[in-house]
Structure 1
Amino acid sequence: MNQLIFGRYFPGDSFIHHLDPRFKLIFALIYVGLLFFLESTFYYLLFFVLTLLLMEQTGVKLAIYVKGVKPLIWLILFAVTLRIMTTSGGDVYLRYGPFAISSFGLTLGLQTFLRFVMIIFISTVLTLTTKPVEITDALYFLLKPLKYIKVPIEDLSLMLSIALRFIPNLLDETDKVMNAQKARGMVFGQGSLINQMKALVPLVLPLFQNSLKRAEDMADVLEVKGYQSNQKRSHYRELKWKKQDVFGSLFLLMLMVVVFVFQQ
């Protein structure tokens, strides 16, 4: 659990740290969307190199990003293996019943692996270089048009801010509870699947209880401060669109042209 870094913010003075959170959120969403429109392995490798360059610009060590992928590596490999075994085409190297390993399946498997890794990396770039409260402000700005159709965007933004804020706390608390249970003789990750599920009960119940207690404390704090979701309020943090955000928007536009024009 302590290897998960999603939702954690790393203070820094990099170029990406100083970008407007609205641009970073839009860039991450469009960048992930573009990955699903890539057709050739060349463009997947091109975007993978670009992702590595963006990660390098954050000033955060590559080992931190790899550490964030490790907890999900088995899920990624399972999806890649399933894609390879169920896709046929090209030269067939091995066949067993309805499953086969072919050149086309291996190509799609590589593309699927790169897509999963890049999605995790670019999402991590966003959370490592942007404070949770800034992500909330950016989301509030993007959802603002929905306010005219009576969508409670203030409540949605508040819930997202609280969720992002407490993800690292929940992970740290999980690690503490697990260590406490291990000190009492509890063994995790051994035995049959049923025994492993039973071993999670002493872990889940304290976390669930602490989460409810934390939510109750948060509700009391909001009530004491007089928070009311239906009241119009100003913002302490003012978001400013700067020159680097304009250049970043032009770069994003260039990527869209590469995917939708030159790739064809």
Structure 2
Amino acid sequence: MDNLILGRYVPGQSIVHQLDPRSKLLAMFIYLLIIFWANNLVTNLLLTLVTLAMILLSKVRLGFFFNGLKPMFGLILFTTLFQLFFTRGGAPLFEFGIIKITDYSLAQAALIFTRFVLITCASTLLTLTTTPLSLADAVESLLGPLRRFGLPVHEIGLILSLSLRFVPTLMDDATRIMNAQRARGVEFSEGNFLQRIRATIPILIPLFASSFKRADALAIAMEARGYQGGDGRSKYRQLSWARRDSLLIMLMILLALSLFLLKS
């Protein structure tokens, strides 16, 4: 829990850090759309190489990056097991009761696992190299044309910014609550599966309580300072689209065409 890096920002001067947040957000959307075209070994290998290249260009240490994703890998593996055990079709490889593993379910489980890992890596890289405020500004800028239809664009950007900002804070709160419960004799790693689930209840209740208290305090602080978003509000940070941002979008379109041609 202490090493979880999803939602955290790591300052840097790499080319990925210097990209306009709008281009990174658009590239992320394209990535999420085309990742479902990767349905064989070649296409998944191509996506893996592209993702690894972006991580290397960000100059984030690979050990730091993947150690921070270990808590997420457990959840991904747990989700993949359902795909492995309960997908029907194909030649049977192993069968025990209602659990049946076939060659088709094994291939589907590997595909789902790869997709979840790539999506997690890409979204984590986005938050590691982009501040929450920049992401909020990017969302507000990209959704700007929808303002004429009554969409609260600024409020959506603000909600996104606050959500990303408080992910690490919630993780820190959860860690403190777990340490306090351990000091009172609660064990989270002992017993069967149901006992471990019951042991999480003393974490969830105070975590929800502290979250609501923090949200209320934030709302009061913003109101006391006269916060008012939307039209007429100036911006300290000005977004600037450069040639490298156009190149990134062109590369993502080229990647999309390559996956479309190589997919099964």
Is TM-score (shorter-chain normalized) higher than 0.5?
Answer: yes
Counterpart-to-counterpart distance in 2, 1:104 and 1:202? 41
Q: Does residue 144 of the first structure (1) align with residue 112 of the second (2)?
A: no
Residues 199-214 of structure 1 mapped to structure 2, 5 A cutoff: 199-214=199-214
Instruction: Decide whether aligned partners of structure 1 residues 40 and 11 sit closer, same or farther in structure 2, where only a CA change above 3 A counts.
Output: same
Counterpart-to-counterpart distance in 2, 1:15 and 1:175? 33
Instruction: Decide whether aligned partners of structure 1 residues 224 and 16 sit closer, same or farther in structure 2, where only a CA change above 3 A counts.
Output: same
Counterpart-to-counterpart distance in 2, 1:113 and 1:32? 15
User: In structure 1, what residue type is equivalent to 2:73?
Assistant: I
Shift of 1:100: 4.2
Shift of 1:149: 1.2
Residue in 1 that maps onto 2:29:
29
Shift of 1:83: 2.7
Shift of 1:31: 0.6
Residue in 2 that maps onto 1:52:
52
After superposition, the C-alpha distances for 1:37-60 in whole angstroms (9 at most, x for unaligned) are 123221111111211111111111
Counterpart-to-counterpart distance in 1, 2:243 and 2:121? 25
Shift of 1:171: 0.8
Cα contact 2:93–2:103 (8 A) shared by 1: yes
Counterpart-to-counterpart distance in 1, 2:203 and 2:93? 45
Counterpart-to-counterpart distance in 1, 2:201 and 2:112? 34
After superposition, the C-alpha distances for 1:78-102 in whole angstroms (9 at most, x for unaligned) are 333333341423x543345675434
1:101 aligns to what SS in structure 2?
Answer: strand
Counterpart-to-counterpart distance in 2, 1:201 and 1:77? 23
Deviates more, 1:123-132 or 1:253-262: 253-262
2:37 aligns to what SS in structure 1?
Answer: coil
Instruction: Decide whether aligned partners of structure 1 residues 130 and 199 sit closer, same or farther in structure 2, where only a CA change above 3 A counts.
Output: same
Counterpart-to-counterpart distance in 1, 2:153 and 2:22? 16
Shift of 1:189: 3.1
In structure 1, runs of 5+ residues without a counterpart are none
After superposition, the C-alpha distances for 1:97-133 in whole angstroms (9 at most, x for unaligned) are 6754343333322222211110000011101000111
Instruction: Decide whether aligned partners of structure 1 residues 132 and 253 sit closer, same or farther in structure 2, where only a CA change above 3 A counts.
Output: same
Q: Does residue 127 of the first structure (1) align with residue 127 of the second (2)?
A: yes
Counterpart-to-counterpart distance in 1, 2:241 and 2:231? 27
Counterpart-to-counterpart distance in 1, 2:95 and 2:53? 39
Taking only aligned residues, the RMSD between alpha carbons, in angstroms, comes to: 2.2
User: In structure 1, what residue type is equivalent to 2:118?
Assistant: M
Residue in 2 that maps onto 1:216:
216
Cα contact 1:88–1:100 (8 A) shared by 2: no
Q: Does residue 248 of the first structure (1) align with residue 240 of the second (2)?
A: no
Residue in 1 that maps onto 2:89:
88
Deviates more, 1:56-65 or 1:95-104: 95-104
Cα contact 2:23–2:246 (8 A) shared by 1: no
Cα contact 2:37–2:263 (8 A) shared by 1: no
Cα contact 2:7–2:165 (8 A) shared by 1: yes
Instruction: Decide whether aligned partners of structure 1 residues 77 and 151 sit closer, same or farther in structure 2, where only a CA change above 3 A counts.
Output: same
Cα contact 2:26–2:249 (8 A) shared by 1: no
Counterpart-to-counterpart distance in 2, 1:193 and 1:40? 34
Deviates more, 1:127-136 or 1:108-117: 108-117
1:2 aligns to what SS in structure 2?
Answer: coil
TM-score with structure 1 length normalisation? 0.90
User: In structure 1, what residue type is equivalent to 2:179?
Assistant: N
Deviates more, 1:75-84 or 1:140-149: 75-84
Residue in 2 that maps onto 1:225:
225
Shift of 1:230: 5.5
Q: Does residue 11 of the first structure (1) align with residue 6 of the second (2)?
A: no
TM-score with structure 2 length normalisation? 0.90
In structure 2, runs of 5+ residues without a counterpart are none
Cα contact 1:8–1:128 (8 A) shared by 2: yes
Counterpart-to-counterpart distance in 2, 1:257 and 1:32? 14
